[in-house]
Amino acid sequence: MDIGQVTADGCAVDVYLLLPPAGEPEIVHAAAGPGASVLELGCGAGRVTHPLRALGHEVVAVDDSAAMLAHVRAETVRARIGDLRLGREFDAVLLGSHLINTAHDRDRQAMLAAARAHLGPDGRLIVEWHPPAWFDSVADGQGGRLGEVDLKLTGVVREGDLLSATVRYSADGRHWDQEFTCRRIDLDAVLTSADLIFDGWLSADHTWFAARARRWG
């Protein structure tokens, strides 16, 4: 089966074109405030970008996949998040899609340093993560439906702080398998080492939170 274009981290572009937003734009809008400028890290095909713009936000959308960015209707920047230094500040920086749970500690540190470098004086970092409880509860067969896409998880394997699995996306008689590995993280330790401070939960299930830059002196 032709699965089309796939990003370096294994996301199929066609899947992200089919997936609708699932409440993310409203969470970001509520946390950032009306009219806030947003730097979106790992924007994909614009699933969250476009509703954010419709809600009145100026969005700069960053991804390292040209194939994803080709679908984004906003100012785009093709870059690795960890390397990003635009020399601009934003009211909000969005790090969604559990990117903070990367298995690679250095990537996480680089992403958070880049996010912090783009926060304005009162800027909020808005993060979607897998909280520790998710690592304990996730199991084969879990899934659901988003728009016209069925999702199903298989092959869950735990090894220390790491969890690996495959998510199968099915739609329109096609399917795409995406393997991933993610790391359970200690939020306090991660934020402290990035010179960030926790700034509240943004969802009742604690899968979204905000942080601010720690200011010294």
Ligand X SMILES: C[S@@+](CC[C@H](N)C(=O)[O-])C[C@H]1O[C@@H](n2cnc3c(N)ncnc32)[C@H](O)[C@@H]1O
Nearer to ligand X, 24 or 91 (CB): 24
Binding residues for ligand X, rule CB under 6 A, total 19
What phi and psi values does residue 151 have, to the nearest 5 degrees?
Answer: -120, 135
Q: Does 51 bind ligand X (CB under 6 A)?
A: no
Q: Are 149 and 171 in contact (CB under 8 A)?
A: yes
Query: Measuring CA to CA, which residue among 99, 119, 121 is closest to residue 110?
Result: 99
Among 14, 16, 59, 129, binds ligand X (CB under 6 A): 16
In terms of phi and psi (left: phi > 0; alpha: psi -120 to 50; beta: otherwise), the region of 111 is alpha
Taking contact as CB under 6 A, which single stretch among the options 41-49, 139-147, 150-158, 203-211 is the one that binds ligand X? 41-49
Nearer to ligand X, 119 or 127 (CB): 127
Residue nearest to ligand X (CB): 44
Nearer to ligand X, 63 or 91 (CB): 63
Nearer to ligand X, 96 or 123 (CB): 96
Among 18, 48, 115, 211, binds ligand X (CB under 6 A): 48
Among 68, 72, 114, 202, binds ligand X (CB under 6 A): 68
Among 55, 59, 81, 167, binds ligand X (CB under 6 A): 81
- Bridge partners of 169, per DSSP, are 151, 176
Least distance in angstroms from the C-beta of 78 to ligand X: 8
Among 12, 14, 31, 47, binds ligand X (CB under 6 A): 47
Q: Are 180 and 164 in contact (CB under 8 A)?
A: yes
Among 27, 55, 65, 163, binds ligand X (CB under 6 A): 65
List residues near ligand X by CB under 6 A: 7, 9, 11, 16, 42-44, 47-48, 63-65, 68, 80-82, 96-97, 99
